[in-house]
Amino acid sequence: MLKIENAIFGYTDSSVLKGINLEFERGKHLALLGESGCGKSTLLKVIYGLYDLKEGEISWNGKRVLGPAYNLVPGVDEMKYLAQDFDLEPNTTVAENVGKFLSNSNLAKKQARVEELMDLVEMGAFASVKTKFLSGGQQQRVALARVLAAEPELLLLDEPFSHIDNFRRSALRRNLFAYLKAKGISCIVATHDCVDALGFADETVVMQEGRIIAAGNSKELYENPESKYIASLFGEVNQLWVSDFMENVEEDEILLMYPHQLMVSATKGVLEVEVKDSYFKGDGYMIKAAFRKRALFFDHPFDIEAGTIVHLALKKFA
């Protein structure tokens, strides 16, 4: 189990992590979401023991994680950390990089393991290519295979698919997370891609300015976001008020609505909006409209001409 108690850390006198408390069980997958600069990468680094905390304590399965002040070789043996810059050796081959953390005591076994991992990330065809000749996405796939090689107990992944094209990303993500679950490897993924959280994480932790502001089941966080900041991490979101939908509201309340929760309805639509723009998104259009001088986004199966007046209803009541 990972246990983080009041972790405070800063690269300078000011703190980047301002009192992080987190516990999570072995075998689980956790997604770390938050705006750029909120401290996701820093949190992964202190969990791995790359820095000394100013205050607080981190432990993995009851063993305290020690930073460089107490540990000559930084990093915890039971963990592997995939940095955003991959950290590959440029003048050695893909196969050598993937096998870097594997023992040479049984070379046939090592080779079989390297091949298995290269297949997992679809890099088998590049086994003898030096990594300096690979594209960014290919390097990222090699780096992923390398951190998996020695089967860590806890895998810390910083934006693991950021350089990988859409064509490969979906399959790779499915294969990787299924592989980790099958092997019982715990995983924390710092990500900007809500699919990592919604589709694959058991729990999601939301960070803002060095603090954890929400944590829990990913679907529940999505469906009941406590703030616009949290909802925005999952995509475009509209901030409306109960009084926008009905008159004589005694105590007004904010309603956070994703574009797919609003629909055009000539009979039940109460929000009168003027269409400003339409954006094709593959399975339909995202429409930008003006509502009382505010921008409002809703999904629609077709393009709507700018200037058109339409009426919107909440889908669940339409």
Ligand X SMILES: Nc1ncnc2c1ncn2[C@@H]1O[C@H](COP(=O)(O)OP(=O)(O)OP(=O)(O)O)[C@@H](O)[C@H]1O
Residue 36 interacts with ligand X (CB under 6 A): yes or no: yes
Q: Is residue 96 helix, strand or coil? A: helix
CB atoms within 10 A of CB 259: 21
Query: Which amino acid, residue 68?
Result: P
Of the candidates 7, 16, 94, 275, which one interacts with ligand X according to CB under 6 A?
16
Minimum CB–partner distance for residue 44 and ligand X (Å): 8
Assess 259 for contact with ligand X (CB under 6 A). Answer: no
Largest CA distance in the chain: 77
Q: How far is the CB of 40 from ligand X (least distance, A)?
A: 4
Give yes or no for residue 42 binding ligand X (CB under 6 A). Answer: yes
Sheet containing 211-217: order of strands: 79-82, 154-158, 186-190, 29-34, 203-208, 211-217
Under rule CB under 6 A, residue 31 binds ligand X? no
Pick one of 4, 20, 34, 60: the residue that binds ligand X (CB under 6 A). Answer: 34
CB of 212 to ligand X, least distance (A): 12
- Beta strand pairing status for 238-241 and 254-257? antiparallel
Q: How far apart are CA 284 and CA 301, in angstroms?
A: 5
| Residue whose CB is less far from ligand X, 42 or 218 | 42
Taking CB under 6 A as the criterion, the residue among 7, 33, 40, 121 binding ligand X is 40
Selected range binding ligand X among 38-46, 90-98, 111-119, 142-150, rule: CB under 6 A: 38-46
Look up residue 262 and give its two tokens. 């609003």
User: Which among 24, 79, 70, 26 is positioned nearest to 51, based on CA atoms?
Assistant: 70
Query: How many Å apart are CA 311 and CA 308, to the nearest integer?
Result: 10
Q: Does 39 bind ligand X (CB under 6 A)?
A: yes
Binding flag, residue 99, ligand X (CB under 6 A): no
How far, in Å, CA of 121 to CA of 145, rounded? 7
Residue of 21, 25, 26, 37 interacting with ligand X (CB under 6 A): 37
Q: x/- site string to ligand X, residues 197 to 236, per CB under 6 A?
A: ----------------------------------------
Q: How far apart are CA 177 and CA 183, in angstroms?
A: 10
160 binds ligand X (CB under 6 A): no
Under the binding rule (CB under 6 A), the answer on residue 11 touching ligand X is yes
Would you tell me which residues interact with ligand X (CB under 6 A)? 11, 16, 34, 36-42, 190
